[in-house]
Copies of this chain bind each other. A is one copy, B any other.
Amino acid sequence: MKNPKIPLTVVRRLPLYLRSLTECKSSGSMTVSSQELGEALDLNPAQIRKDLAFFGEFGRKGIGYEVQYLINKIEHILKLDRNLPVALVGAGHLGTALCQYSQNRHNTVEIQYVFDASPLKIGSQICDLRVRPVGEMEDCIRQNDVKMAIIAVPAEHAQTVVEQLVASGITAVLNFAPVSLRVPDKVHVRNADFTTELLSLAYYAASDE
């Protein structure tokens, strides 16, 4: 598939670089150094250079990185230079929020299909998208060659949903349900469960004990 030697932690930082580069661009800079990027993102400059070196040589010694050029390169690496439709499963408040974000920033990564099991939701509109019955999900994903999905359903349904998604050809999943999903090795699942995050943050809530 893809070069599997790239550490996950490196891939996860690429969008941060992209974000910072976009800021540089809009502030008019033509070039930027790893030093400057590091300051903006609170990261070690050596780390940034090393991360980028996994994918090629994008900078010039003594000068730094040409902003637009590096943006193009990272967008290509992340596949953001092509259209990537995303399927959203679960049309609750969270799903709606995700939909809004997805459309606000007109990315190539965009939620294009929304599914829900509830007859109350099916047929309604979320951010201009029609909510479809889960029964149509597998066919729809297959026919439109969708590879990315977001799970925003209750915990008890998440495993069933992910199995359907994987069976339909989904390879990358962002999971908001608070469960550890079982998937084949080839499928990438990223957990984004904020109740879990919030509980762990409680540890850092100062108290007088």
Contact = CB atoms under 8 A, between A and B. Distances in A.
Interface of A: 1-2, 11-12, 14-16, 18-19, 40-42, 77-80, 82, 84, 86, 92-94, 96-98, 100-102, 105, 107, 109, 147-148, 150, 171-174, 178, 180, 188, 190, 192, 194-207
B201 A174 contact: yes
A64 B99 CA distance: 45
Contact of A203 (B14, B102, B150, B199): B14
A86 B198 contact: yes
Contact of A199 (B80, B188, B194, B198): B80
Q: In the complex this chain forms, how many copies of it are found?
A: 2
A14 B204 CA distance: 13
Contact of A205 (B79, B101, B192, B195): B79
A172 B205 contact: yes
Contacts of A172: 201-202, 204-205
B148 A202 contact: yes
Nearest to A196: B15
Contacts of A147: 205-207
Contact of A207 (B19, B79, B100, B206): B79
Nearest to A188: B204
